[in-house]
Structure 1
């Protein structure tokens, strides 16, 4: 892992070295291994190395390559491209060979997590791309003949030619928790290169395009077991590929859930690497504590697990400068993960695996029942009625959800829900009316309702969840910044192109089953995970921890923030209403806690940005 930064001006003969270095050093936290700058005919390019990685300058061809990431199909690329150093070729050298062989469409042949920039001075071409799932971030802005790009949006924003200003629509999407636009940043003039996109600029003319959108052929096997077996094979390969360069061992951020425990168990089976898991524990909140599951992993799999006391290490950090760019308001449990990264660095590890992405990948779609009924399979009705009776629930609601709701236009659906008394998500009182109007926040709060076609309801919903309205890249990009200053790279086996293409290609019934969440993963991990973990029914909710943190640990810090909130001056929130909402929360009155937490995060972020 590393960081990228560059300036290309198609109308200027050279880039000022001092300006390039100044802007590159804004993300020096990404460069424990140092910053390397190259200047080549109207372009200045900087590589911020996490370890020993370096950019590649081909002086003969006048091409410079900046690469951040990992290529997982190295044997295939080496066999096809025959690089000069053979199997010793670096991923950056393989990327250059792929570009020379296939040009812009080389992205179609690359497997892994990556962001890169290639300046081809001979063709006056800048070529940038990110991996299909957007795990590695890349931002850019164009002002006249100048293009500035960087891993961090703040670096681009700090270029003198790039206008200041927030992207209020993205702030509103964040507050509504409906998923930000993967092609926009939180700054109006800075674009984000979305998942599976590439951008090419030649002689000052820029075009951005999507190069990956999964449309695999349908996969059909003779037996149900075959689907689970093949899923496990792909997931094992995804885990193994992500252990490369781990150092003394690979770390795993492990909760008691199915996803992260599966990653830990499969990492143990990867050749040539040791595994150590880290799990958050809670002494004050037993309802959040998952030590029973980590003990099962230790006792049955001999997995080494280190507890990390979340209540002890969590901090709001609103008063302290952070060692990472303020690209987004998203905060997460930064100080808790920081403790994990400290330990890993001291113990000689470079790679942390996470189960993030499993929820997105494996939720499936209950709309398969409506699709089956449309095909004339009346047993779909029987299954839903039988399931409702087994849970002692009325069958009317699931029947409506599966067979009527998918056919309704969005307006008719809203009318019926209102008529049946379903409570709408209201605009919180502290949101400034002018901000709600400017961003159409009320519409965002209604949520995303994609158009459905009767022929493929379930497959379309799976595609929408994975591709069109995904949010997994938000957390991945945040961890990318958070871990860098420790020399750690975070990797996500469930966020693998091969897994996405497989899940979209197999029958929807293999992914979704009533009453059995993540059906295919549970089946695939038979004999690998402890049964108490594999058959776990309920997911731990960490809302009590958030309530405890805000009421006790961060109470005075937040009250100080809200005395004169910057967000009030920008007419994002109403300052008085914001303070009232938080004091109501402190007194035990009901508030929309998620929106309140996101609003506090926005206020802290605005103070860090100071535009």
Structure 2
């Protein structure tokens, strides 16, 4: 959550003072805390903390090295490790991104190492200049430099508008690159070298009993939660009645049994009692001894004209329920929260029947079964059977990339996006459910997770998701699907970590929340704004992605939007709001 900025050059001793001041001012806008600045021949850095519990981002592990880290150490020992361990060793563990400047004995810039941990929970972006490099924790900081163009990256935005994952190194701006999750990039005067650390499966479950697997799941959840909390004294939690967030609430209580500064918050809807979780969440909070507050979200419409949403200038990726999230932030503000947690991304780690079947059909183990099945189906009398046609389609069809076809790019661009997705899919074939592993660990999830940091910084607090922890993620993604459904219950392992004092409806039941009615009502109440913003976005996006005539007609008509066009309209509207910031 820290704010980092670095100017690097092997050809100039110092940056232009006016340009550096612009860069520094842009970085300082992101935090409420004063930063510190250091410099030498060929380099200058600025860093500031992002919330009260954070430590100083600049350290000097050795006289010839300066280290800047966007990290949140759990304790003093962890802080020492982050300061002294080799930078490349910091890619697995707590949320972290940063750089290390190597200075020669003559005091000149020698080389620079950039690093980002494997889950991509912190962002680090960089851009080449004519005489050097710029590095920062956000794209808009870099764009304060006059050499960098604000032209959008068409491939990135095409992926965004079609709900596909962008290239991991891409940003929303063509001139700026993103450090890939797990990457260690070394820059020097004449070349650069990159190495990437990727998560691999955790097969320890094979040596454990069912009880041992449950115990290890609980231990890893507690470890992930403690890493997220760091040394924060005031903790918030976005609490629902679902297993994911309730398990985090219980883990916080185990990690901080005596903490007096807790605040749970839940939004709900008076007009839709079937999806209102406030009463259930309040009961859960009482059982776990969490102070609780509810937020009425009936009129917190998505894209509301009455309360314009904040827009992150770095990326158009944003929650469709941003207004609800901002109301939760306001509640945390009133309680003095330093960092808040949620159960986000938990759904991506626990196997579902649909993911299991999809991954099974696309897995290479079919390569051995396919030829034998094909030969048997070619026997006389079966040539025209529907079973042969079905088997042919199943065995010949490659894994299908997710996304929407309501906004489809040109065929060549679509082939590029789909080919990239399939190549990424093949990188995760060592996991039992490769499609699910890709969904949980791909670039889109990283952008969504790190993008929330900007909104938290606006409120002077941090945000973290325990289910984005690398050790917990690889553990849950490595388990066979049947272990996630022990006793016929979904998310059985997480349920087993819950205290028995919780209501049985929580420990054994399914979450019933569905925000679709709220979204539909918001689109009707804010019809004119949705349509005007979507039209604005379609005119701009039309430069690189065709907008269907049916959608254009629906946006221009005075009628409520058909349900089919809600998501494309929202994507175009979000794009329009983001372009206004650039």
What is the TM-score of this pair, normalised by structure 1? 0.79
Partner in structure 2 of residue 121 of structure 1? 103
Q: Structure 1 residue 3 and structure 2 residue 28: aligned?
A: no
Is this contact kept in 2: 1:324–1:481, CA < 8 A? no
1:267 to 252, 260, 264: 252
**How far apart are 1:507 and its partner, in Å?**
4.1
State how 1:91-106 maps to structure 2 within 5 Å. Answer: 91=79, 94-99=81-86, 104-106=87-89
Q: Structure 1 residue 286 and structure 2 residue 276: aligned?
A: no
**How far apart are 1:537 and its partner, in Å?**
2.5
State how 1:184-263 maps to structure 2 within 5 Å. Answer: 184-247=170-233, 249-263=234-248
- In structure 1, C-alpha distance between the alignment counterparts of 2:259 and 2:40, rounded to whole Å: 41
**How far apart are 1:531 and its partner, in Å?**
1.8
State how 1:96-495 maps to structure 2 within 5 Å. Answer: 96-99=83-86, 104-107=87-90, 111-122=93-104, 124-247=110-233, 249-271=234-256, 272-274=258-260, 275-314=262-301, 316=303, 325-332=312-319, 333-363=321-351, 365-367=355-357, 407-410=395-398, 426-428=405-407, 436-437=410-411, 439-440=413-414, 444=418, 458-467=432-441, 469=442, 471-495=444-468
In structure 2, the CA distance between the partners of 1:301 and 1:451, relative to structure 1 (3 Å rule), is closer
- In structure 2, C-alpha distance between the alignment counterparts of 1:171 and 1:508, rounded to whole Å: 34
**How far apart are 1:406 and its partner, in Å?**
6.9
Instruction: Out of 328-337 and 313-322, give the one that drifted further.
Output: 313-322
1:71 to 70, 73, 77: 73
- In structure 2, C-alpha distance between the alignment counterparts of 1:425 and 1:514, rounded to whole Å: 35
**How far apart are 1:216 and its partner, in Å?**
4.0
Partner in structure 2 of residue 61 of structure 1? 63
Is this contact kept in 2: 1:407–1:454, CA < 8 A? no
- In structure 1, C-alpha distance between the alignment counterparts of 2:162 and 2:579, rounded to whole Å: 17
- In structure 2, C-alpha distance between the alignment counterparts of 1:484 and 1:121, rounded to whole Å: 32
**How far apart are 1:436 and its partner, in Å?**
3.1
Please provide the CA RMSD for this pair.
Answer: 3.9
Number of residues of Structure 1 aligned to a counterpart in Structure 2: 550
3-state SS of the aligned residue for 1:132?
coil
In structure 2, the CA distance between the partners of 1:577 and 1:156, relative to structure 1 (3 Å rule), is farther
- In structure 1, C-alpha distance between the alignment counterparts of 2:576 and 2:548, rounded to whole Å: 11
Partner in structure 2 of residue 548 of structure 1? 521
Partner in structure 2 of residue 517 of structure 1? 490
In structure 2, the CA distance between the partners of 1:96 and 1:549, relative to structure 1 (3 Å rule), is same
Is this contact kept in 2: 1:29–1:484, CA < 8 A? no
In structure 2, the CA distance between the partners of 1:607 and 1:576, relative to structure 1 (3 Å rule), is farther
In structure 2, the CA distance between the partners of 1:576 and 1:127, relative to structure 1 (3 Å rule), is same
Partner in structure 2 of residue 82 of structure 1? none
**How far apart are 1:453 and its partner, in Å?**
11
Is this contact kept in 1: 2:534–2:569, CA < 8 A? no
In structure 2, the CA distance between the partners of 1:179 and 1:514, relative to structure 1 (3 Å rule), is farther
Is this contact kept in 2: 1:57–1:65, CA < 8 A? yes
- In structure 1, C-alpha distance between the alignment counterparts of 2:85 and 2:63, rounded to whole Å: 14
What is the TM-score of this pair, normalised by structure 2? 0.82
Instruction: Out of 128-137 and 34-43, give the one that drifted further.
Output: 34-43
Give ranges in structure 2 of 5+ residues lacking alignment: 370-385
In structure 2, the CA distance between the partners of 1:98 and 1:166, relative to structure 1 (3 Å rule), is same
**How far apart are 1:373 and its partner, in Å?**
9.9
**How far apart are 1:14 and its partner, in Å?**
1.3
In structure 2, the CA distance between the partners of 1:457 and 1:575, relative to structure 1 (3 Å rule), is closer
In structure 2, the CA distance between the partners of 1:57 and 1:73, relative to structure 1 (3 Å rule), is closer
In structure 2, the CA distance between the partners of 1:61 and 1:240, relative to structure 1 (3 Å rule), is closer
Q: What do residues 275-308 of structure 1 show as CA deviations (whole Å, max 9, x unaligned)?
A: 3210011122334321242133045334322111
Partner in structure 2 of residue 33 of structure 1? 33
